[in-house]
Structure 1
Amino acid sequence: MSQYIPTLDYYTSGLPLVCTMYASSECYFGVNLNPLCKPSEVSYTLIPTMAYFEFLPVQRNNGANSSISVPKTLNEKEQQELVDLVDVKLGQEYELVVTTYSGLYRYRVGDVLRVAGFKNNAPQFNFICRKNVVLCIDSDKTDEVELQNAVKNAVNHFLPFDATLAEYTSYADTTTIPGHYVLYWELSLNGTTPIPPSVFEDCCLTIEESLNSVYRQGRVCDKSIGPLEIKIVEPGTFDKLMDYAISLGASINQYKTPRCVKFAPIVELLNSRAVSSFFSPKCPKWFPGHKQWINMN
């Protein structure tokens, strides 16, 4: 939800943004013992009586070792790798696994946490991202943190035009040859100066430059990934998307804009409200020396 922090700061004139607890549908996890800290510094102290917490070590090498679909159960090798709450290491990232009073046994919540410090002997965790990969065309793997950072870099091109990105989502379009990433952007235009097409093309290229070397290798060397595309959608499109999700049974209290869409009717809805489309004008930078490193790892 970090995308919304600048907007909240603007409308609240810098009032504290407070997140007091960390919880999900599976169980209550923990509390923020310093609720007035900056959003980027929020950490949660897990309460060991809420559930039995275990941690699966995570290695995120530019997304290359992630998987597209994370099962909710652990295989035998993963069970042997589990770490107890008292044995986690400072700075290490883990996937949270819980055994609950309601009957879930070694259930993968899907959240990736990083050990940020300790309160006495109790470890405190930063929420990093969801485990599932957001986008994949070939051997590339792009998670939501990487995508968010890439988008954040790109929208800096809008500063001279007094425009902001209201909402966005993404789609891995494999109907083209080669497949390519598509980003759907809904803009909030406050200025009167129109944004030229070249600026959107620069945004496409900036996003590609911000993605990992595996993606850029696919674009430049392997030619297995096509130019990234940004589609600008009509104002109110993401409200329509929320209405559609709620009509299918989603909870209005828990709805969050998906950062990746795959369901065909949702893709059709977004495409039907697209008013313009822009592609990356050239390949991103990639150095052949990266390939040997990737193969070795």
Structure 2
Amino acid sequence: MHALFALVEPKLETINTIFTTSFRDLCRTVDDHWEDLVHCVETGVIPDIDGIEAVKDNLQRFLQPNPGRAEELRRIGKATDTPGWFKQIWPQLRAILANASGPFATVIPEIRHYIGPEVSLQTLAIGSSEAFLAVAYDPRDLNLYKVVGSDDVIEFLPVDDPEESKYLAQSWNVESGKKYEVVLTTRDGFWRYRLGDVVEIAGFDPRDGQPLIRYIERRNMHIRLANEVTTETQLCQVVDATSNLFGRVSEFCVSPDYRQAVARYAFIVELQGNAGANISVVPGALHDQLQKHNENYLNDSRIGKIGVPCVRVVQPGTFGDFREWKVKTKGTASGQVKVPVVVWGEADRAWLEERVMYDI
């Protein structure tokens, strides 16, 4: 529905989707359903789409036949392979607002392909259902935020210290370069609620002294098969280091793979475009990077406790469909659904494995 109503408006300037992955899903929707969407613009008829029954009549009142805009879109054509295609569709498009830090950074290259170099990608804030934590500090840096002063109390638990309240730091005595888990006390009743997000102090705003932070990872988001503990950040680093060998990674997650005598990591990967010419060497390259970033992984792999990872390439659009599946099955708002970097649940793993096209 967002894609359809966006295509109707030629003067569109800003798209706000909260997360980069949501915007990537919007890009894929325009790409995959181009002809159907243009036809809807032309006729002014909203199609029967699963899940909109309760609101379809209300939406229909706002969609009028627009054959002129439809003809304009057909002249532009489906130019998926052309960088900046969205600037042809919306010449006045200026900004995409979406959280692009942490694991959400993986899809940035694919987004850039759709929007081109002239449209800015801007992150807005770190927020949650529990509280509003921080706002973007520098539009040129997608992972730099300023902690906001609010009615909520924001404290910081050092990740290298014991998990005890006596080690909590306040915003005025955190240390630059140190990593902390965010702890909230809210006016709505949460008392020292552990948010689970780990941030690094990047400095302080000279105007009011509020801490500047970078999002690092979810605490305890890791995979462990032997004596190693490989964190979300390390997994993102090894995929980033090998992304060009894949061709280009759009989204990924990691799960344990017990199909062989020696357990190994399974990187479930959705690619942007075709597989790279050197994709056959990716498992070995991932193995080398994991050994480089994690000494315990290195030791365990050398003594045969962990095998060389496998790579399982899934169908295009799989992770977008996964989010939609979670919304439907869990009754969760779309803004709350994220694909975790590490997937342990049997149902989630089975759903993803059904969409594997081939293994490397």
**TM-score when normalising by structure 1:** 0.77
Which of these residues, 185, 209, 216, is aligned with residue 128 of structure 1? 216
Which deviations, in whole Å up to 9, do the C-alpha atoms of 1:17-76 show, x marking residues without a partner? Answer: 222222111111122233x2232xx322222323111111123xxxxx9xxxxxxxxx9x
1:189 paired with 2:290, answer no
Report the Cα offset of residue 244 of structure 1.
1.9
- After TM superposition, give the deviation of residue 202 of structure 1 in Å: 4.0
2:347 pairs with 1:265: yes
Alignment map for 1:87-102 (pairs within 5 Å): 87-102=173-188
Partner of 2:301: 219
Secondary structure at the counterpart of residue 22 of structure 1: strand
1:50 corresponding residue in structure 2: 151
SS of alignment partner, residue 238 of structure 1: helix
Q: The residue matched to 2:333 in structure 1 has which SS?
A: coil
Secondary structure, aligned partner of 1:26: coil
Residue 253 of structure 1 aligns to a residue whose secondary structure is helix
Equivalent residue number for residue 113 of structure 2: 10
Aligned to 1:252: 334
Structure 2: gaps of 5 or more residues: 1-103
Distance of aligned partners of 1:211 and 1:33 in 2 relative to their CA distance in 1, 3 Å threshold: closer
Aligned to 2:356: 274
Contact 2:125 2:136 in 1 (8 A): yes
SS at match of 2:301: helix
Question: Which residue in the other structure is 2:234 paired with?
Answer: 146
- Show the 5 A alignment for 1:284-295: none
User: Cα deviation per residue 1:73-123 (whole Å; 9 max; x = unaligned)?
Assistant: xx9x61111111111111111111111111111111011111111113222
Matched residue of 1:85: which SS?
coil
Asked if 1:164 is matched to 2:268, the reply is no
SS where residue 252 of structure 2 aligns?
strand
- Aligned residue type for 2:150: T
Q: Structure 1: which amino acid aligns with 2:323?
A: M
Structure 1 residue 155 corresponds to structure 2 residue 243: yes
Q: 1:175-207: per-residue Cα shift (whole Å, max 9, x none)?
A: 65432111111223358xx74663344444344
Percent identity, aligned pairs only, is: 26
Change beyond 3 A, Cα 1:32–1:243: closer
5 Å matches for 1:20-99?
20-34=124-138, 36-39=139-142, 42-59=143-160, 78-99=164-185
3-state DSSP class of the match of 2:344?
Answer: coil
Alpha carbons 2:264, 2:310 under 8 Å: kept: yes
CA–CA separation in structure 2 for the residues paired with 1:21 and 1:150: 26
Normalized per residue, the structure richer in helix is: 2
Cα distance in structure 1, aligned partners of 2:157 and 2:279 = 45
1:229 to 1:18, Cα distance in 2 relative to 1, 3 A: same
| Cα 1:275–1:19 shift into 2, 3 Å | closer
AA aligned to 1:165 is V
Counterparts in 2 of 1:208 and 1:90: CA distance versus 1, 3 Å: closer
Q: Quick check: 1:46–1:124 contact (8 Å CA) kept in 2?
A: yes
The structure whose Rg is larger is 2
Q: Give the TM-score normalised by structure 2.
A: 0.64
Task: Check conservation: 2:238, 2:286, Cα contact below 8 A.
Answer: no
SS of corresponding position for 1:214: helix
Change (3 A) 1:177 1:190: closer
CA contact (8 A) 2:283 2:309 kept: no
Taking structure 1 as reference, are residues 26 and 207 closer, same or farther at Cα in structure 2, changes over 3 Å only?
A: same
Q: Name the amino acid aligned to 2:156.
A: F
Output one character per residue of 1:192-226: Cα deviation in whole Å (capped at 9) or x when no partner. Answer: xx7466334444434434441111111003x2222
Aligned counterparts of 1:196 and 1:155: Cα–Cα separation in 2: 11
User: Is the contact made by 1:204 and 1:230 (CA closer than 8 Å) also made in structure 2?
Assistant: no
Which residue of structure 1 aligns with residue 24 of structure 2? Answer: none
CA distance 1:122–1:166, shift in 2 (3 Å): closer
Which runs of 5 or more structure 1 residues have no equivalent in the other structure?
A: 60-64, 66-74, 279-297
Report the number of matched residues.
253
**For the Cα contact (< 8 Å) 2:284–2:309, is it kept in 1?**
no
Q: Structure 1 residues 147, 201: closer, same or farther in 2, change over 3 A?
A: closer
